[in-house]
Structure 1
Amino acid sequence: MTATIRLPTRRIGSLEVPVVGLGCNNFGSRLDEGRTRRVVDAALEDGVTFFDTADIYGRTQSETFLGRILEGRRDRVVIATKFGMEVDRTRRGAAPAYVRRALEDSLRRLRTDRIDLYQLHEPDPATPIADTLEALDGLVREGKVRQIGCSNFSGAQLLEASAAMKEGAARFVSVQNELNLLDRADEQDALPVAEQLGLAYIPYFPLANGLLTGKYRPGVVPEGSRLASSRRAEQLLTDGTFARLEALDRFAVDRGHSILELAFGWLLAHPPVASVIAGATTPEQVRANAAAAGWILTADEMELVAAGLPIL
């Protein structure tokens, strides 16, 4: 099977990944295994070979589905997964003993002998970060993990983790946080710290719950969309939001692009960004996301967006 879209690649530590990754949070929840397979197959066809999952997604079913579907194709892909959020009362946190248990569980579900990028899903205030890093370093030395990263860390927490890293030991190579054109707060927090520390930045929710797909209009919520069944719809679908969406759409169209392309191109213009993690529930969404990565904003275009869209 040859990829129909040739995506550029960037690096996360020693890993080479396409600039668009597939977020697997819908697998096992919104999507059953058959629909998951169609999405994964479409991703591989379109050059999206970076898969980001977590042990809590779909109550562990995301990893299970992905393991079965990628069997026989494991060497073609880069798999990232996460641990630390509560799977159940006995499986949560970042204590050293649990780090190993969580990894072994993920390896079994994913049907693989190694995780390419193993990420702490959120800070664990009950465990010193130095202890977690030491446990992760042991897994890297055993060959069960290639690279380690973190998610939902503030800039201050990234600096704390950097200070706790021992000479010669495995270090975080990435941070995965929320960033998009409607939520730019991390531009003033973890993003510049990631650049300072030489970390790859992996943005999630790049389309702001689908608002940046161009499908939403005042009074119109697409049937079957995430927000159609969300209690946050009233909070998000405000006159102010639609005014910003209209301005962004006009900016993109004036330059011969769509707001979807703008959402990806704006993120990829930030130097630390390695790959944009976008979820999908259909093959068509996968293809649209992959195709949207062709426009990377210039410095002048970034300044225009910043001038017209203040940081919230």
Structure 2
Amino acid sequence: MEYRRLGASGLTVPALAFGAGTFGGRGELFGNWGAVDVAQARRLVDICLDAGVTMFDTADVYSDGASEEVLGAALKGRRDQALISTKTTLPLGEDPGGSSRSRLLRACEAALRRLGTDHIDLYQLHAYDAGTPPEETLSTLDDLVRAGKVRYVGVSNFAGWQLMKSLAVADRHHLTRYVAHQVYYSLVGRDYEWELMPLGLDQGVGAVVWSPLGWGRLTGRVRRDQPLPPGSRLHRTASYGPPVPDELLYRVVDTLTDLATETGRTVPQIALNWLLRRPTVSSVLIGARNEAQLRENLGTIGWTLTDDQAARLDEASSTTAPYPYFPYQRQEGFAQLNPSVVR
């Protein structure tokens, strides 16, 4: 396994981390994602740890807390071998959510209890709470860090101005800074590159990528001029995820398929390997409902696309950015403005 710094922090994380959204199986959305129970989760955790995948990501809203419970049970007896990342802020049951002091303190204690641990390695806000002053949110997170209940803090799905405002408040008041941003980023969803990538580079915030296969579209089972496979979860969950124009999807899948033939790798492995080459990416979350899916995703590590192969994927996945970004379209413009960091 390859390991990287999480943003500008001293925390080292694996290039691939495990997303436990398939654990628990409660509710309409997460029930369709997967219903991995404790015994199955232990097996997946075994495989991850053997491969060096030491970070496990979940959230309190995943299956109404059941994902945290299953993950905690699966890690029992080997908590010291793992990094646990979880998230809060979204509404949970009758709790309206938010990032107020009272909500964060209550949510953190509940997460610790469900996970069966005394600390969370990376605690992230699942969304921006515009109704709570950032000073209140950040001072509460700082208190949790000082109390030893949280090691590092991050955010997820923030807009650029929301993240930058929060970082400025942290700096002004000498509070714990966000070091991670959990973001949607894939070959069919490159919006992260417009503003959040240069912000992460400038401010030392590492990307933890969710849905790197474009909400299940880049598994190799979705093809041009073919119906969705009968067992595809896209039949039931597509409306929950980011939209993807059909022509963009098929253009990317065609290129991935060609490269799979050339390299002997699978479509998902190539899509994930492309992400690992991108600036600011600290870790890519891989999810799995079974051992076969997990082992395939682990095959992403130990090799790399050539520059020419990556360029073909860049071209196939390129779209025109909106103003004010379009003069420096996508990664091409980022490379012009940040030549020293683009690999």
Normalised by the length of structure 2, the TM-score is 0.83
Stretch of structure 1 that moved more, 11-20 or 29-38: 29-38
Number of the residue aligned with 2:303: 295
Mapped partners of 2:264, 2:129: distance in 1: 45
- Superposed CA deviations along residues 248-296 of structure 1, whole A, max 9, x for unmatched, are 3214433453322221111111121111012110011111111113334
Find the aligned partners of 1:159 and 1:231 in 2 and give their Cα distance.
Answer: 31
CA distance in structure 2 between the partners assigned to 1:237 and 1:185 by the alignment: 14
1:19 aligns with 2:15: yes
SS in 1 for 2:139: helix
1:264 is aligned to: 272
AA aligned opposite 2:253: L
TM-fit CA distance, 1:90: 2.5
Aligned partner (choices 61, 67, 70) of residue 62 of structure 1? 67
| 8 Å contact kept, 2:157–2:184 | yes
Between the aligned partners of 2:114 and 2:51, the Cα distance in structure 1 is: 25
1:4 aligned residue = none
What do residues 208-244 of structure 1 show as CA deviations (whole Å, max 9, x unaligned)? 12221212224243343321433549x7584552233
State the partner residue of 1:221.
Answer: 228
Shift, 1:299, TM fit = 5.0
Whether the 8 Å contact between 2:259 and 2:309 is mirrored in structure 1 is: no
Provide the residue aligned with 1:3 in structure 2: none
SS of 1:243's partner is helix
2:176 matched residue in structure 1? 170
Deviates more, 1:256-265 or 1:63-72: 256-265
State the alpha-carbon separation in 2 of the partners of residues 99 and 53 from structure 1. Answer: 16
1:282 aligns with 2:287: no
Q: Distance in 1 between matches of 2:248 and 2:205?
A: 34
Q: Deviations over 1:5-55 (max 9, x none)?
A: xx1111222322211111111111121413333322332233222100000
Note if contact 2:187-2:252 (Cα within 8 Å) is conserved in structure 1: no
Q: Within 2, Cα distance between the matches of 1:15 and 1:223?
A: 42
Taking a change above 3 Å as real, the CA distance of residues 37 and 220 of structure 1, as seen in their structure-2 partners, is farther
Distance in 2, matches of 1:87 and 1:296, equals 40
- Work out the number of aligned pairs and report it: 305
The question of whether the paired residues in 2 share the 8 Å contact of 1:38 and 1:282 is answered with: no
Distance 1:287 1:246, change over 3 A: same
Matches within 5 A, 1:101-140: 101-140=106-145
Q: 2:22–2:289: 8 Å Cα contact kept in structure 1?
A: yes
Higher relative contact order (CA 8 A, sep 6+): 1
Counterpart amino acid of 1:229? R
Distance 1:163 1:108, change over 3 A: same
Instruction: Determine the C-alpha separation between the residues in 1 that align with 2:66 and 2:259.
Output: 40
- In structure 2, distance between residues paired with 1:229 and 1:195: 36
> Is 1:308 the equivalent of 2:285?
no
Match of 1:80 among 74, 79, 85: 85
What secondary structure sits across from 2:45 in the alignment? helix
Which deviates more, 68-77 or 218-227? 218-227
Q: What residue in structure 1 maps to residue 261 of structure 2?
A: 253
Q: Does 1:98 pair with 2:106?
A: no
- Which position in structure 2 is the counterpart of 1:8? 2
| Aligned equivalents of 1:310, 1:84: Cα separation in 2 | 33
| Structure 2 unaligned regions, length at least 5 | 26-33, 321-343
Q: Which whole-Å CA distance do the structure 1 matches of 2:311 and 2:194 have between them? A: 15
Match of 1:241 in 2: 249
How high is the sequence identity, in percent, across the aligned residues?
37
Counterpart for residue 212 of structure 2: 206
Q: Any gaps of 5 or more consecutive residues in structure 1?
A: 1-6
Provide the C-alpha distance between the structure 2 equivalents of 1:165 and 1:302, rounded to a whole number of angstroms. Answer: 37
Cα deviation, 1:136-171, whole Å, max 9, x if unaligned, reads 000000111000000001222221111111454211
- DSSP 3-state at the match of 1:104: helix
TM-score (norm 1): 0.90
Secondary structure (helix, strand or coil) at the match of 1:143 reads coil
SS state of the match for residue 281, structure 2?
Answer: coil
How many Å separate the matches in 2 of 1:186 and 1:236?
14
Q: Which amino acid aligns with 1:305?
A: L
Do the aligned residues in 1 keep the contact of 2:197 with 2:279 (CA within 8 Å)? Answer: no
